[in-house]
Amino acid sequence: MSSLRTPCSTTRLAPSPTGALHLGNARTFLVNHLLAVQRGWRMLLRIEDLDGPRTKPGAAEQALEDLAWLGLTWDSEVVYQSARTGAYEAALRRLIDAGEAYPCTCSRRDIELAGGAPHADDHTRVYPGTCRDQWESPRQAQRATGRPVAWRVRVPEEPILVEDAFMGARAIHLPAVCGDFVIYRNEGLAGYQLAVVVDDAAAGVDAIVRGDDLLDSAARQMLLYRLLGLSPLPRYWHLPLVIGEDGRRLAKRHGDTRISRYRQSGTPPERMLGLLGCWCGLLDEPREADMAELVRRFDLARMPTRPVVFGRTDHLFLTG
């Protein structure tokens, strides 16, 4: 695997307080930490707390405790997206002024009725462009429909090439993946894609490690970088997810896999690190290991290229 352009890169951990961190999150964050230590990257931590209705009280504090318990560290004060709304509003205005963003009053039901094709991974509908060039202003859109206004960005017809340092190059055709996507929600808050780009660019983040369920997001974010004229453009490492025995991504349906649950049941961090290290190809079998050993053993080339399956034996190892 190729290395970064410079040993002085910046990466970040970015948990969302919409729920507790689970073992799948822990594995991705651990790989991010190991890469950062091995390559001398600066590590930041950002709480992505813009999804107000889904934010759980105390979840941000719990995430910080869980990460520290595992032995993950960061190099500056924690940034909260909820404190950066002004930066997102400024970016939105730039896109509107450039003619790259337009108002939209479509509901999810509207998109379904319009026959937008479902995205294979998450069953969300591809936006068919109903409101593109429909309204001269957000006021006109709201008056005509009686609905609140969101903002979408125009996506290009040509594919966007994502050069992924783990998965290789992938050409992503946004019109087929998502269509024009929301960058500002109709409740007046920045969408995930816009907020992430604005924050990463402001912090100088140029190395992003995350699950491969966000590979399509890389193309959307690269588009926003280009439209906003921001730099540095990050390099990406998208890792296979941890899934349950049913083949679906790890979630509540697979039982309680929260880091905090195992902490409270008495699992030592070395035991969880050992399981995660095994999942990363660093150990032949699950056993207790400390962070120093995982740093010594870490080799991205040993990472599995297929999803990791969490099963009953893993649970028994953590609680045994």
On the question of a common fold for 10-83+240-319 and 85-194, the answer reads no
Of 110-124, 154-168, 265-279, the one with minimum mean pLDDT is 110-124
Give residue 295's pLDDT.
97
Pairing of strands 10-13, 42-47: parallel
Task: Look up residue 136 and give its amino acid.
Answer: E
Query: Which tens digits make up the pLDDT trace of 206-251?
Result: 999 999 999 999 999 999 999 999 999 999 999 999 999 999 988 8
Residue 169's Cβ-count burial label (10 Å; 0-12, 13-18, 19+) is exposed
pLDDT band (50, 70, 90) for residue 123: low
Name the token pair of 285.
């079998």
Of 57-71, 78-92, 247-261, 269-283, the one with minimum mean pLDDT is 247-261
Residue 94's Cβ-count burial label (10 Å; 0-12, 13-18, 19+) is middle
Of 2-11, 177-186, 271-280, 290-299, the one with minimum mean pLDDT is 2-11
pLDDT band (50, 70, 90) for residue 113: confident
**Segment holding 163, helix H or strand E:** strand 160-164
pLDDT greater than 80 at residue 2 = no
Name the token pair of 101.
């963003």
Query: Which tens digits make up the pLDDT trace of 245-302?
Result: 999 988 878 779 999 999 999 999 999 999 999 999 999 999 999 999 999 999 999 9
> What is the mean predicted confidence (pLDDT) over 108-112?
86
pLDDT greater than 60 at residue 5 = no
Give residue 115's pLDDT.
59
Q: Phi and psi at residue 111, in whole multiples of 5°?
A: -65, -40
Q: Where are the domains of the chain?
A: 10-83+240-319, 85-194
> What is the mean predicted confidence (pLDDT) over 193-214?
97
pLDDT greater than 60 at residue 118 = no
> What is the mean predicted confidence (pLDDT) over 143-160?
97
Q: In this structure, are residues 91 and 137 in contact, taking their beta carbons and an 8 Å threshold?
A: no
pLDDT greater than 80 at residue 202 = yes
**CATH placement of domain 10-83+240-319:** 3.40.50.620
Query: Which tens digits make up the pLDDT trace of 34-50?
Result: 999 999 999 999 999 99
> What is the mean predicted confidence (pLDDT) over 17-21?
91
d(CA 278, CA 286): 6
Give residue 252's pLDDT.
78
Give residue 1's pLDDT.
39
d(CA 98, CA 229): 12
Of 47-56, 102-111, 263-272, the one with minimum mean pLDDT is 47-56
> What is the mean predicted confidence (pLDDT) over 82-96?
97
Q: In this structure, are residues 312 and 265 in contact, taking their beta carbons and an 8 Å threshold?
A: no
Query: For 152-168, b where at least 16 C-beta lie within 10 A, e where not — what string?
Result: bbbbeeeebebebbbbe
Share of the chain above pLDDT 70, in %: 95
Fold of the 85-194 domain: Glutamyl-tRNA Synthetase; domain 3 (3.90.800)
Q: In this structure, are residues 228 and 196 in contact, taking their beta carbons and an 8 Å threshold?
A: no
pLDDT greater than 90 at residue 111 = no
Give residue 69's pLDDT.
98
pLDDT band (50, 70, 90) for residue 119: very low
Share of the chain above pLDDT 90, in %: 85
Give residue 120's pLDDT.
44
Name the token pair of 263.
């902490």
Residue 53's Cβ-count burial label (10 Å; 0-12, 13-18, 19+) is exposed
Considering the chain, what is the average pLDDT of its residues? Answer: 93
Mapped onto helix, strand or coil, the DSSP state of residue 26 is: helix
